[in-house]
Structure 1
Amino acid sequence: MSTMTVPAQTDDVTEPAVPGLGSALRAECIKLFSVRSTWWTLGATVVLGAGLTVVLCAANAEWLASDSADESPGSFITWGMMIAQICAVVIGSLCVTSEYGTRMIQTTFAAVPSRGRVMLAKSVLVGGLMFVLGTVTALIGYVGGNHFLDAHGVGMPLEGDVLRSMYGSGLFLAGIALLSVAFGFLVRHTAGTITIVLAVVLILGNMVMMVPGAFGEWLGKLMPGNAGQAVATPVPFNPDLLAAWPGFAVFLIEVAATLFLAWVMLRRRDA
């Protein structure tokens, strides 16, 4: 008579692999670059950042070379980057809020249970993208705008503060995009996130300067948009702002604090 053999049972159960940061980053790249709005926004960044710089330099080159000029050519050589920051706000916001709008964020958190890792992947992607794009855009604007400045004898060599403003423009756009990522996780709504960030960076930064006294003066200096933008221009239009690197340090602290708050709330709230 044959004997039935029962397979030995084992307690070893293979746990599914938890996606690492590299996998999360690849997934975020696919999601970000697979929609047309991303490409339109990136294109608008170059057009606004470089195009407006060239137009402003061409329109003001003759005046800047005259004795009546009361501004430095350095104030115009990255002028378009002040408008390009709007595109950085849009990219940072859409990277987060588009998933909340379609409820795909639940699938993302199911695939990558570590919410902090998802937030880090989005931040690395958006920050790195805007740094590279911002620097390249500033360089394109410099080459085009400086052509007209050179023609009137007020061109600026690519060194010192001018060189710093090129990669400084990339740093500033990266910081703005990261601020938008943070508010995206806090607000979870595209229009709301874009409105709040633009209000904080562009509107409140100018309004607080109307507060009288030393308090209003320092409040204006410490606003994120005012503190961060000095690193993106060789000569700021407002000489009362913080110097380039001290201002950018303040800006980084404000961005980091907002990201930390967003991380805490992301862990505590339901998707």
Structure 2
Amino acid sequence: MSTPQPPMPQTAPEWQAARPGYTSPIPVVRTHLGHALASEWTKIRSVRSTMWTLGVFVLLVVGIGLLTGLVVSSQDADLGGESPLGLGFFGLLLGSMCLITLGVLTTASEYGTGMIRTTMVACPSRARVLTAKAIVFFLVAFVVTLVSATLIGVLHVAMLEGNGAKDPSGGEWLKGTVGVSLYLALLGTLSLAVGSIIRHSAGAITIMIGALLAPLVIALFMFSESLKDVQQALFEYSIPNQMSVFYANSLSESGPSGWDPVWIMLSITAAALAGAFALLEKRDV
């Protein structure tokens, strides 16, 4: 009987012998918030909902603003030294519903389509994902609102120069453009947070539209004297009234003034985002 021979050691191929270790040509990069921001920017500019909502927003702000300016100038109405910037309020109020819709869709639509699973696999840090969504949306909403409000403001000043309108001061320009843009961008970001909490597009949009219109509508039908204080509070802190503060056309003599609406909306949005972050870490995707 022949004795079994030990197995011969296998020799590596020539190409592997020359390269003792394999190094992938794909670089390993530690991900950070910048990558999440780039991803969310790609998403928000490539989906049709962004083009539709922002397109309708610009159409409402500029279209209604132009229509209002044309009506006032054609009737030779005397503005009595008032700033013409206030005429842009009507278009911005209706346009705010477009920003609310886009803010909700930025988060809630991914839950409806199931794409949120892919997003979380690509970026396991859930807080980073929500942070990137909020930053990208806020900047987009702010820039679009600022450009639209500035454009219609310039047109109103030019159109109503002969109607007794005063030339707006620097402070009025700042509030009527930057101030109202900050407020509406924060309102849209609040909608984004509500969309993340509700995780249902139709439900979150309904809640935000109700928050926009319901307080003012309810206050209009409070005729009882015992509810006078409640009615006044609803008037003062309703979203339309807070928006009108930026044009010095408040619906009430008391309540928020100056830049107060921005700080109020900032506080509410921060609280909603904190709740969204907490729930996002606890829930299953």
Alpha-carbon offset, residue 151 of structure 1: 3.2
What is the rounded CA distance, in whole Å, between the counterparts of 1:4 and 1:73 in structure 2? 87
Contact 1:156 1:162 (8 Å CA) reproduced: no
* Residue 204 (structure 2) aligns with: 193
Contact 2:103 2:137 (8 Å CA) reproduced: yes
* Residue 269 (structure 1) aligns with: 283
* Residue 9 (structure 1) aligns with: none
SS of the aligned residue for 2:248 comes to coil
> Where do 5+ consecutive residues of structure 2 fail to align?
1-5, 13-27
What is the rounded CA distance, in whole Å, between the counterparts of 1:174 and 1:66 in structure 2? 30
Q: Cα gap change, 1:120/1:66 in structure 2, threshold over 3 Å: closer, same or farther? A: closer
* Residue 238 (structure 1) aligns with: 251
* Residue 13 (structure 1) aligns with: none
Alpha-carbon offset, residue 3 of structure 1: 7.1
- AA in 2 matched with 1:176: L
What is the rounded CA distance, in whole Å, between the counterparts of 1:63 and 1:262 in structure 2? 51
Residue 207 of structure 1 pairs with residue 189 of structure 2: no
Alpha-carbon offset, residue 256 of structure 1: 1.1
What is the rounded CA distance, in whole Å, between the counterparts of 1:30 and 1:66 in structure 2? 45
Out of 192-201 and 139-148, give the one that drifted further: 139-148
Correspondent of 2:267 among 225, 229, 253: 253
Contact 1:52 1:80 (8 Å CA) reproduced: yes
- AA in 1 matched with 2:144: L
Contact 2:50 2:102 (8 Å CA) reproduced: yes
Alpha-carbon offset, residue 24 of structure 1: 0.7
Residue 222 of structure 1 pairs with residue 223 of structure 2: no
Q: Cα gap change, 1:52/1:148 in structure 2, threshold over 3 Å: closer, same or farther? A: same
TM-score if structure 1 supplies the norm length?
0.85
> How many corresponding residue pairs?
260
Alpha-carbon offset, residue 18 of structure 1: 5.5
> Where do 5+ consecutive residues of structure 1 fail to align?
7-15
What is the rounded CA distance, in whole Å, between the counterparts of 1:19 and 1:118 in structure 2? 12
What is the rounded CA distance, in whole Å, between the counterparts of 1:130 and 1:73 in structure 2? 24
Correspondent of 2:39 among 27, 49, 70: 27
Correspondent of 2:174 among 148, 163, 166: 163
Alpha-carbon offset, residue 262 of structure 1: 1.4
Correspondent of 1:129 among 136, 140, 159: 140
Alpha-carbon offset, residue 200 of structure 1: 0.5
What is the rounded CA distance, in whole Å, between the counterparts of 2:77 and 2:265 in structure 1? 31
Q: Cα gap change, 1:220/1:259 in structure 2, threshold over 3 Å: closer, same or farther? A: farther
Alpha-carbon offset, residue 244 of structure 1: 2.9
Q: Cα gap change, 1:208/1:266 in structure 2, threshold over 3 Å: closer, same or farther? A: farther
Q: Deviations over 1:206-264 (max 9, x none)?
A: 424655232432244334x2464145x32225133410312221121111111111111
Contact 1:18 1:112 (8 Å CA) reproduced: no
Q: Deviations over 1:18-64 (max 9, x none)?
A: 63111111111111111222112111111111221121122124464
Spell out the pairing of 1:112-127 with structure 2 (5 A cutoff).
Answer: 112-127=123-138
Contact 2:61 2:88 (8 Å CA) reproduced: no
Correspondent of 2:115 among 96, 104, 118: 104
Identity %: 31
Q: Cα gap change, 1:63/1:238 in structure 2, threshold over 3 Å: closer, same or farther? A: farther
CA RMSD of aligned residues (A): 2.8
Contact 2:104 2:195 (8 Å CA) reproduced: yes
Q: Cα gap change, 1:196/1:66 in structure 2, threshold over 3 Å: closer, same or farther? A: closer
TM-score if structure 2 supplies the norm length?
0.81
Q: Cα gap change, 1:184/1:18 in structure 2, threshold over 3 Å: closer, same or farther? A: farther
- AA in 1 matched with 2:214: I
